[in-house]
Structure 1
């Protein structure tokens, strides 16, 4: 969800100004305050409808005599004497990905312990309210002094609850700290962790290290350069040191690049400016605004014109146990799985399998990649399901991806996680190449059942397809009636035929809590403390501060 604005005087600021440009740090505090007030008002306006839906869901459950328990019994994995139900800790249950996995483990008959960050007084995490979770714990956020308290808070839960398996679904802010927690927990307890260690997490999380490591194991990458000074960036872009154009002026067919911070910074994350710009002066001005230094390196990466895709996979001891691929975007809020047998999906699976195999026996965790595919290649792959697609990996997330929701209706997922609790067997690994895949020798992971539901978030769609276009029509003349009607039709289609990523009729309270407790609390805090934000991600509960 993002709010957008035009360059108008502060005296004319409107609550949701238009579909022109997002509110940013330069937008007035009044515009940001109006934005928060408008969203708080919207939550109140829809409260009667959502509460009616909540009560109706509970009524349906009562009429069907404890439907959730019957549903659980019908889809749970068969018990065996060796692997009875386990105690599973899922962190990050306030996000869709954590909640989805908690529900899967619950349906399989396991006892699920949930944990997430929450303020001391208000239980805001929507997963806190889920029927799938037996008990919930608040985690201590990593601070400037490090993640020792955070690590200890997870270890305390594992010891107190005698947890068998920790499934890490935490966010990007605690990526390295999760690696530290994994190492400590597996050192001092018998609990196993679905989480990469510190060294692996750093290597995959930081963009320049990811590119270097990917090349080192023989996998393709787009042209990339680690940049630690503005002078180095300008030399590559203007003087042509990175196959750029002469004197920074674009020519037809010239290579273009994108500058990306190697870590995570909300203030620059959405900057997709293609470089070099039309003139050297414009390029210098743009680079001059970026905070580049030895301590804050950036990556200059070749721009590939074509569609973007993302993946989610579960890797256990170097083997891909579950996999899904889907079309992606810079802020992905609509999930639709690619057919598992498609050329695109199979090419991304092969890449993931080779990556996992290179990691060896210690390589266990959630792994997701972002790929760009050349337009012509993508079109050819759509025509020929056997085609090998040349992928351009642009980013790796060594953690669970929201795309895991596409595996919601796949009970075998729980069994895939349980393989980590089985004794390790030393097996000689086959190289994962096209011949091996074609002969069916490489182990095939779990894919989403077909037909696979498409996922959205009603709150986001209401804002994107109806509220913003209507405001743009009424107050800024940046759209027309036809586009507003198109948005209403698309919203109706998603409402009728897609599935909300948080709502389940047998577990309805988390969705209600998300829209009427969590987000109103965030907007109210922004109002009270005068904070500015440009957009939010409903699925990950992340707010992008300016």
Structure 2
């Protein structure tokens, strides 16, 4: 297994080396363009976490364009993130992992040192709750655009989220909280309906396993359940599988008012974003955040069934990568930092966003090359910007290569490279 992982790592490093000269030429030409994004000073300093992720870069650029000073933070593992070299970033700091007891105090130290006015967490699944807990140490120093700890924990748990939404009269699939194989054995599967099991804790690898369970497959139901680690401390959710079109949304809310909103068609591994208006989904989101009266960022996954009804599958209380669609939206920062009359949406001129290296891989491995070429021609790379080209070069030729080398040295395996999140997807990863 280790030899196979090493071979994949060497192959990935070799492929990135092959493309380096092309990227150097593209970035060199962009650097010759002396244009700068005019930004009138505003006197506000915004701290953005999650510095390895494209969505953090997108927000940093938005705050910079609006005239704000940007402080980017990330854990030491990702200290060589290409985003720290962005023209939009005025200062970069490493902090401990979110699970470290010193995480909140490290954030407070950065806030004090940089005189931060606003903290916008771009949370990974592992940091949503720690960021909410850290707010108690930061509230006397700066504004934190994040929900309170109780709300974040409720939203992050697929079962308590479903319960809360249903209590508001909003549609969610039928569900049960599962903590043992016995719960599956005793569940009376309704005839003609299928269910799937999803771990409530973030599972970067297993989350794509959508094995169907039903009344017609009692033996498979139990065998599959036994293959999973289900306990009181590691609960799962048994959720009805509804066939239909998947959608994902990003929402920023302030005091229960939706101030930033985007909606896209979705898939299991989402690296393409194009705004689409589904009125029932937006109404669902507006009702939910209004009932909660929440301030923070809430990303939802939906299914629209064949009859047109929409069901919310889960909520992730953090920034969605769909925020990359706002690359030319001058009002994005305002939507985060102040009240707006209506939610800020991507502009009508916004192109769909993609990640070039993901599209190149698909060109090589998928049969419909014409479609992939059309995606590239009609869209725009989520990382590259002519006025700010270094992140594009350094994500692909510094950040990811360093992670690959570290994995090779440690003997760890990985399932794929996620250029969007800026990491290697691995079992037990962040």
TM-score by length of 1: 0.75
Provide the alpha-carbon RMSD of the alignment: 1.8
Q: Distance in 2 between matches of 1:306 and 1:154?
A: 42
Secondary structure at 1:533's aligned position in 2?
coil
Q: Residues 299 and 116 (structure 1 numbering): CA distance in 2 closer, same or farther, change over 3 Å?
A: same
1:139 aligns with 2:112: no
What residue number does 1:496 align with?
377
Moved over 6 A (4+): none
Secondary structure at 1:148's aligned position in 2?
coil
Secondary structure at 1:141's aligned position in 2?
coil
Matches within 5 A, 1:236-275: 236=187, 241-243=188-190, 245=191, 254-275=192-213
Structure 1 gaps, min length 5? 1-27, 62-66, 246-253, 378-389, 423-442, 470-482
Once the two structures are superposed, residues 151-192 of structure 1 have per-residue CA deviations (whole angstroms, 9 ceiling, x without a partner) of 111111111111111111121111110001122211x32x10
Secondary structure at 1:173's aligned position in 2?
coil
Query: Could you tell me which of 42, 48, 53 is aligned with 2:26?
Result: 53
Matches within 5 A, 1:345-360: 346-360=279-293
1:451 aligns with 2:337: no
Structure 2 gaps, min length 5? none
8 Å CA contact 2:260, 2:336 repeated in 1? no
Once the two structures are superposed, residues 406-457 of structure 1 have per-residue CA deviations (whole angstroms, 9 ceiling, x without a partner) of 112111111222317x9xxxxxxxxxxxxxxxxxxxx631111103211110
1:278 Cα deviation (Å)? 5.4
Query: Could you tell me which of 351, 373, 377 is aligned with 2:304?
Result: 373
Matches within 5 A, 1:228-243: 228-236=179-187, 241-243=188-190
1:214 Cα deviation (Å)? 1.3
1:415 aligns with 2:334: yes
Q: Distance in 2 between matches of 1:402 and 1:460?
A: 15
1:85 Cα deviation (Å)? 3.5
1:504 Cα deviation (Å)? 0.4
1:32 Cα deviation (Å)? 1.8
Matches within 5 A, 1:97-496: 97-119=55-77, 123-143=79-99, 147-186=100-139, 188-189=140-141, 191-236=142-187, 241-243=188-190, 245=191, 254-276=192-214, 279-338=217-276, 342=277, 344=278, 346-360=279-293, 363-377=294-308, 390-419=309-338, 444-466=342-364, 468-469=365-366, 483=367, 486-487=368-369, 489-496=370-377
Indicate the larger mover: 133-142 or 270-279.
270-279
Q: Distance in 1 between matches of 2:380 and 2:115?
A: 35
Q: Distance in 2 between matches of 1:222 and 1:495?
A: 35
Q: Residues 138 and 193 (structure 1 numbering): CA distance in 2 closer, same or farther, change over 3 Å?
A: same
1:266 Cα deviation (Å)? 2.5
* Count of equivalent residues: 427
Larger Rg: 1
Query: Could you tell me which of 30, 36, 40 is aligned with 2:3?
Result: 30
Once the two structures are superposed, residues 328-373 of structure 1 have per-residue CA deviations (whole angstroms, 9 ceiling, x without a partner) of 11110111110xxx4x1x212211111111122xx21111100011
